[in-house]
Amino acid sequence: MEKLKQSIILFDLDGTLTDSAEGVIRSAQHMQEKMGISKWADDDLKFIVGPPLMKTFTEDFQMNREDAQRALEFFRERYATVGLFENKVYDGIPEMLESLRKKGKRLAVATSKKEETAVRILKHFGIDGFFEVIGGDNREIGRDTKAKVIEYVLETMKANKGDAVMVGDRKFDVEGAHLIGIPCIAIEYGYGGREEFEACGADYIGATPQSVVDMF
């Protein structure tokens, strides 16, 4: 494969930089208890990790907007205090980020997670310094989709779209990147899989953090 030339690399957070499944699932179960609905098993809630929560609550849980907003508040009640640290950085991530920086790449985060929470997580694990911009969900100002987050990050970096690429682990990363007009590298060590990536048209697929470095 010919080496990629983009100098700006945007990373998803959950399932791409960190394995956050435990905290997300526990917080979803907390939400279910608070909403008075039966609590699902861990395995049945794995799908919730990664996608925008409002989309998950309205579509997968079939809630109306009002109930979905309540569910989001209950989820964040636990996640903001406990769940965000039930989390770990994937093996090889700091080395990947360091190697890309040495290649002269500009790095940023574009996540569907609430922005202030993303900043807290990255600081907690000591990897926030790798990124010029940490962009996330801010629905108070209408930044509530993956595409809008990506667009915000690129605008903040004063980046040319032709010089940027997204890295993520779910179809939502690929679809968000394509809506903005940039390619996406899908990684297999997170929560998605090759079948999902091929179905949504991922531009490149990598198996490990090192495989991302090797693409550049």
Residues with catalytic function: 12
124 vs 25: CA distance, rounded Å? 20
Chain centroid to Cα 55, Å, comes to: 14
Q: Which long-range contacts (C-beta less than 8 Å, at least 24 apart) are formed by 70-79?
A: 70/35, 71/31, 71/35, 74/30, 74/31, 74/34, 74/35, 75/27, 75/28, 75/30, 75/31, 76/27, 76/114, 77/30, 77/34, 78/26, 78/27, 78/30, 78/31, 79/23, 79/24, 79/27, 79/117
- The pairing of beta strand 204-206 with beta strand 184-187: parallel
67 vs 50: CA distance, rounded Å? 20
Tokens of 136: 């996330």
